[in-house]
Amino acid sequence: MNIKSDYYDDDNRITTALLLAAGTGSRLFPLTKNYPKCLTLVNKKSILERLVTNLKKQGFTRLVIVTGYEKECIMDFLSSKSGNLKIEYIYSPLYRTTNNIYSLWMARNIIDEPFVLFESDLILNTSLLNEMVFPDKMAVALMQPWLNGTTVSINKLNQVTQFQKGTTDKYSDIRYKTVNIYSFSLSTWRAIVKKLNQYISEGSVNCYYEAVFSDMIDDKSLSLESVSFDHKPWYEIDTIYDLAEAEKLFPAEIKKRIRSEAVTIQRI
């Protein structure tokens, strides 16, 4: 479904990431009573720590984070874990009354380079980012009964042709779930900012940024190539149930080590 990363020039490899982490994570309450969603532990390791580890492994050098709810917790946590990764913060004071479209818009003046966009509730296998570090990609997964949210249609060239909302029951073609990871070239980002400015100036601060992407796909001012996330584990953690499912996919390191040692003993 996608082109192998061997075909891409490493000179085009993206090294900047943008993380949207301003929300209150209300659906994960009480785990988010005193901490932002991205610090939720998945088998004793937070979503944010896992992301930072993935970024370092993929050669990222800059991480910009849009914060809001309990921003100090994020800053304190990363103070000792950034390593060679340069971290910058943007505070969104309207985080309680706006949605992720506003958080993305907040980054318009601080990012002027290609970047990869992440949501703060995703946990994934590092290798899934292999192709997302090149410009103008969109992570997708084949729609399954247990998934919900925005879907897209894809043509034979793996280009995203349309965004949809709601269930897939009324559609006849194959649908793919948005994983909420995107990569943008600088020219694409500048075009998106123009559209974001239009939405925000009209007071549309409570919608999702997918509305902007959808409009731009429709008028052909945005072109995104799909990257399949079906071959390795990933999970979007919105609820306590999601957290339990994610912990099945990403077991604790000690469990992995015990299983590995057991296999070694059996072989001996």
**CA–CA gap between residue 37 and residue 41 (Å, rounded):** 9
* pTM of the entire predicted model: 0.88
Q: With respect to residue 161, please indicate whether it lies within any of the assigned structural domains.
A: no
Q: With respect to residue 236, please indicate whether it lies within any of the assigned structural domains.
A: yes
**CA–CA gap between residue 224 and residue 191 (Å, rounded):** 13
Q: With respect to residue 2, please indicate whether it lies within any of the assigned structural domains.
A: no
Q: Which amino acid is at 225?
A: E
> For residue 193, which of 104, 267, 264, 70 has the smallest C-alpha distance?
104
Report the largest interatomic distance among the alpha carbons of the chain, rounded to a whole angstrom. Answer: 68
**What residues are paired with 195 via a beta bridge?**
none
Q: With respect to residue 109, please indicate whether it lies within any of the assigned structural domains.
A: yes
* pLDDT tens, N- to C-terminus, the chain (268 residues): 444 444 456 678 999 999 999 999 999 999 999 999 999 999 999 999 999 999 999 999 999 999 999 999 999 999 988 888 999 999 999 999 999 999 999 999 999 999 999 999 999 999 999 999 999 999 999 987 777 788 999 999 999 999 997 655 555 568 899 999 999 999 999 999 999 999 999 999 999 999 999 999 999 999 999 999 999 999 999 999 999 999 999 998 654 444 444 444 444 4
Q: With respect to residue 4, please indicate whether it lies within any of the assigned structural domains.
A: no
CATH classification at residue 233: 3.90.550.10
**CA–CA gap between residue 1 and residue 39 (Å, rounded):** 33
User: Tokens at residue 232, please?
Assistant: 């390795």
User: Tokens at residue 246, please?
Assistant: 């994610």
The count of structural domains within the chain is 1
User: Tokens at residue 183, please?
Assistant: 């990569």
> For residue 118, which of 98, 138, 142, 102 has the smallest C-alpha distance?
138
Q: With respect to residue 58, please indicate whether it lies within any of the assigned structural domains.
A: yes
**CA–CA gap between residue 91 and residue 81 (Å, rounded):** 20
Whether the link from the prior residue into 145 is cis, omega within 30° of 0, is no
Residue 24 structural domain: 12-138+179-267
Q: Which amino acid is at 184?
A: F
Q: With respect to residue 117, please indicate whether it lies within any of the assigned structural domains.
A: yes
* Residue 125 buriedness (CB in 10 A; 0-12 / 13-18 / 19+): middle
Q: With respect to residue 153, please indicate whether it lies within any of the assigned structural domains.
A: no
